[in-house]
Structure 1
């Protein structure tokens, strides 16, 4: 499969992903990987409505996504993988999926998170996952929209301390 891009975005498919990123990347399929969303007909229906016209959509649990990717199920397509949390990507890599670069977009704030940027909020599990991905040689950037400069996410992460 031609994995064109990988993005962490808590909103999954929304205006930036559906319009800006999909157009910029010239993708043919968005692959949302999330066990909970894949099990929810309501959430899947919402994602189907949000996907851009002419772009296919797969909403898959983690293990199924890893199997499809490794067997080459979408080799002829340009696939944009979108997940909510970095832990999902650690699991994919541990299951044998090769990733080169991950873009961190939006990770929403809640009472347990520490704010890293205006749009990226993390808990310790996220920090551990980002460190694990980085240790595997995967480049991690922070970039909200294609017109923004991509920043080295690990430099951003080093400047902040996560709440205990």
Structure 2
């Protein structure tokens, strides 16, 4: 399977991802991987509204996504994976999904988070998860939109 891109974005699929990122990465399928969204008809309906024309969409829980990818269900497609948090990617990798590069876009602010950039807000577990992904050889970048400079997330975390 051709995983063309993996992005962490707390908003999952929305206008910016649908209109900019999907074209830039050349995706033929967007795969939203989130355990809560996968069982919420309302959340799934909102995501489906943002899907660009001509692009396939899967909204799956972590286990089903990993099983489908490892089984080769998307081997003929260019898949763009979207998740909310880095912990999901660690689970996917543990389940055999080959993830080499991850772009971090937007991780929303909450009472528990601390800002890394104007659009990336982290809890301590996110930092630990990013460090683990890095140890596994995953290249981690930060870029909100394709026209922004591509930053090395690990360099940013050194100052965190």
Shorter-chain TM-score: which interval? over 0.9
Deviation, 1:16, is 1.3
SS at match of 1:35: coil
SS at match of 1:44: helix
Separation of aligned partners in 2, 1:6 and 1:114? 23
Separation of aligned partners in 1, 2:18 and 2:27? 10
In structure 1, the partner of 2:17 is 17
In structure 1, the partner of 2:104 is 104
In structure 1, the partner of 2:54 is 54
In structure 2, the partner of 1:33 is 33
TM-score normalised per structure 2: 0.98
- The 5 Å alignment of 1:85-100 reads 85-100=85-100
TM-score normalised per structure 1: 0.96
In structure 2, the partner of 1:127 is 127
In structure 2, the partner of 1:149 is 149
Please provide the CA RMSD for this pair: 0.6
Separation of aligned partners in 1, 2:127 and 2:66? 23
Separation of aligned partners in 1, 2:150 and 2:16? 15
- The 5 Å alignment of 1:77-92 reads 77-92=77-92
SS at match of 1:89: helix
Q: Which runs of 5+ in 1 are unaligned?
A: none
Separation of aligned partners in 1, 2:15 and 2:158? 30
Deviation, 1:158, is 1.2
In structure 2, the partner of 1:136 is 136
SS at match of 2:106: coil
The ranges of structure 1 where at least 4 consecutive aligned residues each deviate by more than 2 angstroms after the TM superposition are none
Q: Which runs of 5+ in 2 are unaligned?
A: none
